[in-house]
A and B are shown apart, each in its own frame.
Chain A
């Protein structure tokens, strides 16, 4: 009799426990969706967008802006410095914004001759960068420590402003940079080996949003200028005078320049 009661009590306990149902299992928004791209393809796509964005920023904003008297400085965030972000810091701003988004994408910039010694490549990155300098081809590896798929892409001296600023910088460790040189490499990381169409678009959007965020921070800094002349923000670019484009105009130009390549990949995946 006692053992029957014990059995009944145990059954009642298990039934009660089970009857409420567990915590619903986490399902990602893309659960069940077909993987459309290998991580390498996606990182190549977003790196291409980065090339276009950085070249546009360096040439059309920094290069032309300097000719209009605009200033760009590594201490641009300091209160007593009235300047905009240098291209490397523009990229860091994009990377920071991406990390705040739900997209698990990592973006870093390094070199073997960085202006800031703390940005010098070491270990696996230094090894792969030697190869990148030779053939300018992307390098991929799996970061075992963090379990992240990692890609490195050449970062070229694509504008005169890259060369002159780095050669003339007081902290530079190399003074003979020239146009077209591999000045460094961007490193990108993502946790999955393949992405759905939706995840891929999210990666591209998070990068685009990152460029808007850092560019808006720059415009906010300009708003707070006390001594320097403030450029007019609108549809015009520094090439036309003391003007800066709005974030929307800037992003539109990036899209015009990069969308063909990106769209080719995205459309191919839907066929």
Chain B
């Protein structure tokens, strides 16, 4: 049916191989079994069993519709563009499994105007500031002295700690906060009263890097597993 000029033979064969290879790769890399190869990096601690779709939901429309919509948006024929391939991951995705009534630092609180300066130093309105995904760790924040952004004026009456909070703050010992207090406040444990009994920094750092939980494993709320999360969607 098609007559290929002998001079074009190599290009045609190359083109066919390219199409077959492209379709094969598209098929292979969209299989569940190959998700690890598509991922931009290993999942963070606790997220290892998750499939891509748990966070990366399919964008609305098919590929052609998405191309057309974004093309129309680019030429001004449409007000809003659309997500291409998968939807953007937002805080809401995280909260679907991690929302807890006892969170002492829920992200929404930092949208209040008075945190304007604080969130310029550390954007606590979004989870990924401290928990960047695909880094094979638990906490990715650059420095652990973030409490300084809001708690400079902290006063603890009848302070039980051998080195009082006011002294620690005056000396700008902001790294010591996390040695007693877990940021989200979900662990059940006895807070030490002697600085010598606090969790050493290297243990905290190992925990941040994905190691053992130094605050203990007794937690009031446990995040949903993928199966539990899927059940909530069914409801």
B-binding residues in A (CB < 8 A): 16-18, 20-26, 77, 79, 93, 95-96, 99-100, 106, 108, 110, 117-118, 120-126, 143, 145-146, 148, 150, 170-171, 173, 187, 189, 217
A173 to B60, CA, bound (A): 53
B78 at the interface (CB under 8 A from A): yes
Give bound CA distance, A170 to B159, whole Å.
Answer: 11
Do residues A189 and B111 form an inter-chain contact, with CB atoms below 8 A?
yes
Assess the A117–B111 pair: CB atoms within 8 A: no
Residues of A within 8 Å of B101, CB to CB, are: 77, 93, 96, 217
Q: Which of B155-177 contact A (CB under 8 A)?
A: 155-158
Question: Which residue of A is nearest B92, CB measured?
Answer: A100
Contacts of B102 in A (CB 8 A): 77
25 contacts between A and B (CB under 8 A): A17-B71, A18-B68, A20-B62, A20-B68, A22-B61, A22-B72, A22-B82, A23-B60, A25-B80, A26-B80, A77-B102, A100-B99, A106-B108, A106-B111, A106-B112, A117-B151, A117-B153, A118-B150, A120-B114, A122-B114, A146-B111, A146-B113, A150-B113, A170-B157, A217-B101
Q: Given A96-B101, A117-B151, A117-B153 in contact, is the A143-B65 Cβ separation under 8 Å?
A: no
Shortest CB-to-CB span from A271 to chain B, Å, is 33
Closest Cβ of chain A to B184, distance in Å, is: 13
Could you tell me the distance in whole angstroms from the C-beta of A116 to the nearest C-beta in chain B?
9
Report the Cα distance A142→B114, complex, angstroms. Answer: 14
Assembly CA distance A117 to B152 (angstroms): 9
Give the Cβ gap from A268 to chain B, nearest Cβ, in Å: 31
B109→A108 contact, CB < 8 A: yes
B87 CB, min distance to chain A CBs, angstroms: 12
Check B40 for interface membership: any CB of A closer than 8 A.
Answer: no
A170 touching B68 by the CB < 8 A rule? no
Range of interface residues on chain B? 35 or more
Q: How many A-B residue pairs have CB under 8 A?
A: 93
CA distance A117 to B147 in the complex (A): 13
A29 to chain B, nearest CB (A): 17
- Across-interface contacts of B142 in A (CB, < 8 A): none
Give the shortest distance, in Å, between B111 (CB) and chain A (any CB): 6
Q: Is B67 an interface residue (CB 8 A)?
A: yes
What's the Cα separation between A20 and B66 when bound, in Å?
10
Q: How far is the CA of A142 from the CA of B24 in the complex (A)?
A: 53
Interchain CB contact under 8 A, A187 and B153? no
Q: Which of A17, A24, A110 contacts B114 (CB 8 A)?
A: A110
**Do A170 and B158 touch (CB < 8 A)?**
yes
Q: Does B25 contact A (CB under 8 A)?
A: no
Q: Does B106 contact A (CB under 8 A)?
A: yes
**Known interface pairs A20-B62, A99-B106, A143-B113; 9 further A-B residue pairs with C-beta atoms within 8 A, sorted by A's residue number:** A16-B64, A20-B64, A22-B69, A24-B61, A25-B80, A95-B108, A100-B99, A118-B151, A118-B153
Q: Which of B61, B66, B68 has the most CB of A within 10 A?
A: B68
Specify which of A26, A108, A126 lies most central, judged by the most chain B CB atoms within 10 Å of its CB.
A108
B68 and A117 contacting across the interface, CB-CB below 8 Å: no
- Which chain B residue lies CB-closest to A21? B65
Residues in chain A near residue B114, CB distance under 8 A:
110, 120-123, 125-126
B31 at the interface (CB under 8 A from A): no
**B196 to chain A: closest CB distance in Å?**
25
Q: Judging by beta carbons under 8 Å apart, are B112 and A108 in contact?
A: yes
